[in-house]
Amino acid sequence: MLYAILALPVAGDLISPLQPGHAYWWLKAAGLAVLAAAVAVCRAWPTAALLTAISLTAVHGNFVFAMPVLSYLTGLRTVRAQPVLWGYTAVFVGGVLLSVVRGLDVTVWFPSTIWLVLFGVLPWLVGRYWRQHQELLHAGWERAEHLEHEQRIIAERERLRERARIAQDMHDSLGHELALIAVRAGALQVAPGLGERHRAAAAELRTGAADATDQLREIIGVLREET
């Protein structure tokens, strides 16, 4: 689909040329084949595809319409700017040298420099800006998710600390009450004038209070281990 759009201006001129003799039909056809190869590799090697499209403008002027598209895609897909900048510099220097060798006046080749900036450099900068914007946006979402995860961890820790504090309070309060019950039951067990049946009940009460205290201590220990 992309190739069809980029090749349409050249293909239209190939079918119905506006300037007969400006370029042989086979040269245009070869340029279209090279453009197809450039589009095919523009995802893996965007800079090479861009420089290929720029060089095709020497074959036919309508190849210039592929420049802004491939320049934008290059800015969107490449992280390093140096290879692209070196490529633009090489195109500019090569064009100037070729113009000097051919004896062209500055008024002839200088507009080509303007087209290189408008159709090449500016779309590349736009694509580069959009890629960086998307990266910052993605990094912001990742940062927000990381902070949310940290907040959940902090909330869970606070909940565990609160549970441990409540468990400790229960241990202190209930343990104290159970200890008092055990002491009172022990005192009641040895009290004078108490029947054997009541002494046995007091002993059972003291033993039960001691067992309950041990069980409470075990439960509190488990809760502390979980925190």
pLDDT in tens, 45-76: 988 888 888 888 877 777 788 888 899 999 99
Does the pLDDT of residue 154 top 80, yes or no? yes
Q: What is the 3-state secondary structure (H, E, C) of 146-193?
A: HHHHHHHHHHHHHHHHHHHHHHHHHHHHHHHHHHHHHHHHHHHHCCCC
Q: What is the mean pLDDT of the chain?
A: 77
Question: Average pLDDT in the 120-135 region?
Answer: 92
pLDDT at 20: 56
Does the pLDDT of residue 198 top 70, yes or no? no
pLDDT at 227: 56
Asked whether the beta carbons of 42 and 49 are under 8 A apart, the reply is yes
Which of these, 79, 61, 78, lies nearest to 70 by C-alpha position? 78
pLDDT at 133: 92
pLDDT confidence tier of residue 187, bands split at 50, 70 and 90: low
The two structure tokens encoding residue 156: 């869970």
Which of these, 24, 91, 92, lies nearest to 55 by C-alpha position? 91
Which of these, 158, 159, 55, lies nearest to 112 by C-alpha position? 55
- What is the pTM (predicted TM-score) of this model? 0.62
Asked whether the beta carbons of 184 and 201 are under 8 A apart, the reply is no
Cα dihedral sign for 81, 84, 88, 94?
positive
pLDDT confidence tier of residue 161, bands split at 50, 70 and 90: confident
